[in-house]
Amino acid sequence: MTDLQTTDLHAADPADSPWWRDAVIYQVYPRSWADGDGDGVGDLPGITSRLGHLAELGVDAIWFSPFFRSPQKDAGYDVSDYRDIDPLFGTLADADALLARAHELGLRIIVDLVPNHSSDQHAWFQEALAAAPGSEARERYMFRDGLGADGSTPPNDWRSVFGGPAWTRITEPDGTPGQWYLHLFDSSQPDFNWQNPVVREEFESVLRFWLDRGVDGFRVDVAHGLIKKEGLPPFPLETEMISQDNTALSPFWDQDGVHEIYRAWRSVLDEYEGDRIMCAEAWVAPAERAARYVRPDEFHQAFNFGYLEAPWRVADLRTVITDSLSANDSVGAPATWVLSNHDVVRHASRLGLPVGQKRPNGISASDPQPDAELGLRRARAASLLMLALPGGAYLYQGEELGLPEHTALDHHYREDPTFHRTSGTEVGRDGCRVPMPWERDAPAYGFSATGASWLPQPPAYGDLAADQQAGVAGSTLELYRAALALRDERGLGLGGLALVGDTTTDSTDADTAEDAVLTLHNTGRGGEHPTLVIANLGTEPVALPEGSALLLASGPLTDDGLVPTDTTIWAAL
Q: Do the Cβ atoms of 407 and 349 come closer than 8 Å?
A: yes
Please give the size of the binding site for ligand GLC, defined by CB under 6 A. 9
Task: Give the whole-angstrom CA distance, residue 166 versus residue 183.
Answer: 5
272-301 residues near ligand GLC, rule: CB under 6 A: 281
Q: Do the Cβ atoms of 570 and 388 come closer than 8 Å?
A: yes
* Sole binder of ligand GLC in the list 34, 85, 222, 315 (CB under 6 A): 222
Q: Supply the minimum distance, in Å, between the C-beta of residue 414 and ligand GLC.
A: 14
Residue 113 binding ligand GLC, by CB under 6 A? no
Residue 41 binding ligand GLC, by CB under 6 A? no
Radius of gyration of the chain (CA): 24
Residue 343 binding ligand GLC, by CB under 6 A? yes
Residue 35 binding ligand GLC, by CB under 6 A? no
Which residues 6+ apart lie within 8 Å of 203 measured at CB? 113, 115, 265
- Binding mask 140-179 toward ligand GLC (x if CB under 6 A, else -) reads ----------------------------------------
Task: Report the residue number, 221 or 254, with the smaller CB distance to ligand GLC.
Answer: 221
Q: Supply the minimum distance, in Å, between the C-beta of residue 308 and ligand GLC.
A: 12
Task: Report the residue number, 216 or 281, with the smaller CB distance to ligand GLC.
Answer: 281
**Closest among 112, 96, 86, 91 to 28, alpha carbons compared:** 112
Which residues 6+ apart lie within 8 Å of 84 measured at CB? 68, 69, 92
Q: Supply the minimum distance, in Å, between the C-beta of residue 114 and ligand GLC.
A: 6
* Sole binder of ligand GLC in the list 35, 74, 216, 405 (CB under 6 A): 74
* Sole binder of ligand GLC in the list 125, 167, 181, 185 (CB under 6 A): 185
Q: What is the DSSP letter of 544?
A: P
Q: Do the Cβ atoms of 520 and 536 come closer than 8 Å?
A: no
60, 191, 221, 515: the catalytic one is 221
- Binding mask 192-221 toward ligand GLC (x if CB under 6 A, else -) reads -----------------------------x
Q: Supply the minimum distance, in Å, between the C-beta of residue 162 and ligand GLC.
A: 8
Q: How far is CA 312 from CA 182, 375, 377, 489, in A?
A: 38, 11, 12, 28
Q: Do the Cβ atoms of 472 and 478 come closer than 8 Å?
A: yes
How many residues are there in the chain? 573
- H/E stretch holding 179 reads strand 177-182
Q: Supply the minimum distance, in Å, between the C-beta of residue 520 and ligand GLC.
A: 30
**Residue 181, SS3 per DSSP:** strand
Residue 515 binding ligand GLC, by CB under 6 A? no
174, 271, 273, 373: the catalytic one is 271
Task: Report the residue number, 304 or 548, with the smaller CB distance to ligand GLC.
Answer: 304
Q: Is 271 a catalytic residue?
A: yes
Q: Supply the minimum distance, in Å, between the C-beta of residue 454 and ligand GLC.
A: 16
* Sole binder of ligand GLC in the list 109, 114, 395, 436 (CB under 6 A): 114
**Residue 171, SS3 per DSSP:** strand
Task: Report the residue number, 202 or 371, with the smaller CB distance to ligand GLC.
Answer: 202
Task: Give the whole-angstrom CA distance, residue 531 versus residue 518.
Answer: 14
Residue 120 binding ligand GLC, by CB under 6 A? no
Task: Give the whole-angstrom CA distance, residue 360 versus residue 373.
Answer: 19
Task: Report the residue number, 114 or 285, with the smaller CB distance to ligand GLC.
Answer: 114
Q: Is 238 a catalytic residue?
A: no
Task: Report the residue number, 35 or 281, with the smaller CB distance to ligand GLC.
Answer: 281
Q: Supply the minimum distance, in Å, between the C-beta of residue 219 and ligand GLC.
A: 9
Q: Do the Cβ atoms of 6 and 12 come closer than 8 Å?
A: no
- Binding mask 389-428 toward ligand GLC (x if CB under 6 A, else -) reads ----------------------------------------
Which residues 6+ apart lie within 8 Å of 201 measured at CB? none
Which residue has the CB atom at the shortest distance from ligand GLC?
77
Task: Report the alpha-carbon angle 273-65-117, nearest 5.
Answer: 95
Task: Report the residue number, 10 or 342, with the smaller CB distance to ligand GLC.
Answer: 342
- Bond into 190 cis (ω within 30): no
Q: Which long-range contacts (CB under 8 A, 24 or more apart) does 510-517 make?
A: 510/313, 510/314, 510/538, 513/538, 514/314, 515/313, 515/314, 515/315, 516/314, 516/540, 516/542, 517/314, 517/542
Task: Report the residue number, 222 or 466, with the smaller CB distance to ligand GLC.
Answer: 222
Q: Supply the minimum distance, in Å, between the C-beta of residue 281 and ligand GLC.
A: 6
Task: Give the whole-angstrom CA distance, residue 426 versus residue 362.
Answer: 7
77-96 residues near ligand GLC, rule: CB under 6 A: 77
Q: Do the Cβ atoms of 355 and 313 come closer than 8 Å?
A: yes
Task: Give the whole-angstrom CA distance, residue 431 versus residue 127.
Answer: 36
Q: Supply the minimum distance, in Å, between the C-beta of residue 193 and ligand GLC.
A: 17
Task: Report the residue number, 22 or 343, with the smaller CB distance to ligand GLC.
Answer: 343
Q: How far is CA 166 from CA 120, 160, 222, 245, in A?
A: 14, 4, 15, 18
Q: Supply the minimum distance, in Å, between the C-beta of residue 189 and ligand GLC.
A: 6
Task: Report the residue number, 63 or 337, with the smaller CB distance to ligand GLC.
Answer: 63
Q: Which residues bind ligand GLC (CB under 6 A)?
A: 74, 77, 114, 185, 221-222, 281, 342-343
Q: Which residues are catalytic?
A: 221, 271
